[in-house]
């Protein structure tokens, strides 16, 4: 296997919860709620003493089709699969115990290898792709896979969950991620069909595997003497966007809210202004030198400003077009943003303008209805 080293020098809740899965496994500290869910997992919860709790995810949401009405505001478009470029996926070693699975044509994952086991962020787009990731992990270590973090609700980051459930992992997600995974499951499946066909994957093998443990603002998992810190700063590209800090390795995993030199999907954000402010907070934080994004290659702190500028520029320009009374068709024809023509996903620009028109004119995201 090709493992490329890329070393670089460089809440609201008042409760304290610690979860001990087994003798030499992981300890979790959560500022926020630990919510129960259907796939019941008994976890020892120590709160200023000892108590036993069962952990699960909250109540399911509801789903109904998006209906288009005459004279209605434009409906956002959740872009589907883009054809492969043929670039092979590669595992990059970013620290002595931290690995970055980089898949240009798909979604990325991260795995931490410790004496107490393995922690994984995101599981790819199908159980077979998830199994492929497990096989790559097995070429690095035979340690058990203890934890899986789903960084956001998109199926290309969660539909490999079944393979990791079979491996015995415990799943963690921010509360909004857990809620949206269930709410939009039919729509997510619909926009993954081209990917399944191209890769000869059976859609019926995809199972909705929700979190065993959820959190609100911040949570830490302790595994093999290493801390993994999960952080939620509010909605970015979508509600639930979870950032994951590896303090000992000075590395930060970013969800869909950040990627380098790529125009993001605007169909899910509930506030572009909040997204830009969120990136300000991330850029101002200490404790990391390297960024491991959910899409795109390894990045660094200075790359955050580039995305912030693009988001602010695109949003202000489209907002101005709406204020001038431009129709969607006029805006799509007039607003070309040539300064971003060499960015990845520039070809989706007309769809992104449509997505922003929906948000600006309605204040809603119909994908979540």
**pLDDT tens digits, the chain, 369 residues: what are they?**
545 444 333 333 332 233 334 333 444 554 444 444 433 333 332 223 222 222 323 333 332 233 333 345 676 667 555 667 789 999 999 999 999 999 999 999 999 999 999 999 999 999 999 999 999 999 999 999 999 999 999 999 999 999 999 999 999 999 999 999 999 999 999 999 999 999 999 999 999 999 999 999 999 999 999 999 999 999 999 999 999 999 999 999 999 999 999 999 999 999 999 999 999 999 999 999 999 999 999 999 999 999 999 999 999 999 999 999 999 999 999 999 999 999 999 999 999 999 999 999 999 999 999
Backbone angles phi, psi at 188, to 5 degrees: -65, -45
Instruction: Give the residue numbers spanning the domain of 220.
Output: 3-368
- What is the spatial distance between Cα 283 and Cα 76, in angstroms, rounded to a whole number? 29
The Cβ of residue 84 has, within 10 Å, a number of other Cβ atoms equal to 12
Q: What angle do CA 121, 123, 125 make, to 5 degrees?
A: 140
Radius of gyration in angstroms for the set of CA atoms belonging to the chain, rounded to a whole number: 20
The structural domain count of the chain equals: 1
β-pairing, 26-31 with 17-20? antiparallel
- The CATH number of residue 147's host domain is 3.60.15.10
Q: Could you tell me if 359 and 266 are in contact, meaning their C-beta atoms sit under 8 angstroms apart?
A: yes
Q: How far apart are CA 144 and CA 136, in angstroms?
A: 13
CB contact at 8 A, 230 and 215: yes
- Annotate 127-148 with DSSP letters as a single string: HHHHHHHHHHHHTT--S-EEEE
Contact 253, 206 (CB under 8 A): no
- 3-state class (DSSP) for residue 303: helix
Q: Following DSSP, what letter does each residue of 306-354 receive, concatenated?
A: HHHHHHHHHHHHHHHHHHTT--HHHHHHH---GGGTTSBTGGGHHHHHH
**pTM (2 d.p.):** 0.83
């Amino acid at each position: 296997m090709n493992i490329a080293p890329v070393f670089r020098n460089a809440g609201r809740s008042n409760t304290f919860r610690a979860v001990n899965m087994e003798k030499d496994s992981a300890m979790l500290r959560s500022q926020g709620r630990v919510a129960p869910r259907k796939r019941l997992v008994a976890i020892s919860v120590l709160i200023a003493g000892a108590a036993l709790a069962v952990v699960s995810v909250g109540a399911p949401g509801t789903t109904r089709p998006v209906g288009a009405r005459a004279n209605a505001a434009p409906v956002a478009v959740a872009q589907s699969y883009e054809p492969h470029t043929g670039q092979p996926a590669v595992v990059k070693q970013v620290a002595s115990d931290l690995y970055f699975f980089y898949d240009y044509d798909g979604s990325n994952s991260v795995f931490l290898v410790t004496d107490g086991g393995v922690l994984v962020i995101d599981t790819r787009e199908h159980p077979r792709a998830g199994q492929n990731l497990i096989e790559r992990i097995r070429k690095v270590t035979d340690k058990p896979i203890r934890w899986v973090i789903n960084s956001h609700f998109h199926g290309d980051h969660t539909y490999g969950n079944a393979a990791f459930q079979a491996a015995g992992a415990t799943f963690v997600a921010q509360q909004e991620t857990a809620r949206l995974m269930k709410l939009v499951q039919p729509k997510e499946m619909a926009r993954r069909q081209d990917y399944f066909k191209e890769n000869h994957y059976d859609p019926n093998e995809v199972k909705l595997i929700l979190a065993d443990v959820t959190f609100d603002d911040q949570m830490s998992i302790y595994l093999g003497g290493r801390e993994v810190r999960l952080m939620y700063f509010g909605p970015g590209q979508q509600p639930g966007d979870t950032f994951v800090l590896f303090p000992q390795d000075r590395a930060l995993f970013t969800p869909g809210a950040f990627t380098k030199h790529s125009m993001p999907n605007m169909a899910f954000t509930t506030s572009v202004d909040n997204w830009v402010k969120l990136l300000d907070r991330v850029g101002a934080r200490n404790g990391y030198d390297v960024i491991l994004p959910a899409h795109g290659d390894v990045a660094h702190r200075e790359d955050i400003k580039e995305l912030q500028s693009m988001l602010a520029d695109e949003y202000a320009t489209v907002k101005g077009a709406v204020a001038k009374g431009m129709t969607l068709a006029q805006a799509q024809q007039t607003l070309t943003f040539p300064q971003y023509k060499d960015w990845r996903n520039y070809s989706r620009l007309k769809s992104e303008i449509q997505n922003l028109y929906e948000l600006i004119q309605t204040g809603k995201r119909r994908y979540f209805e």
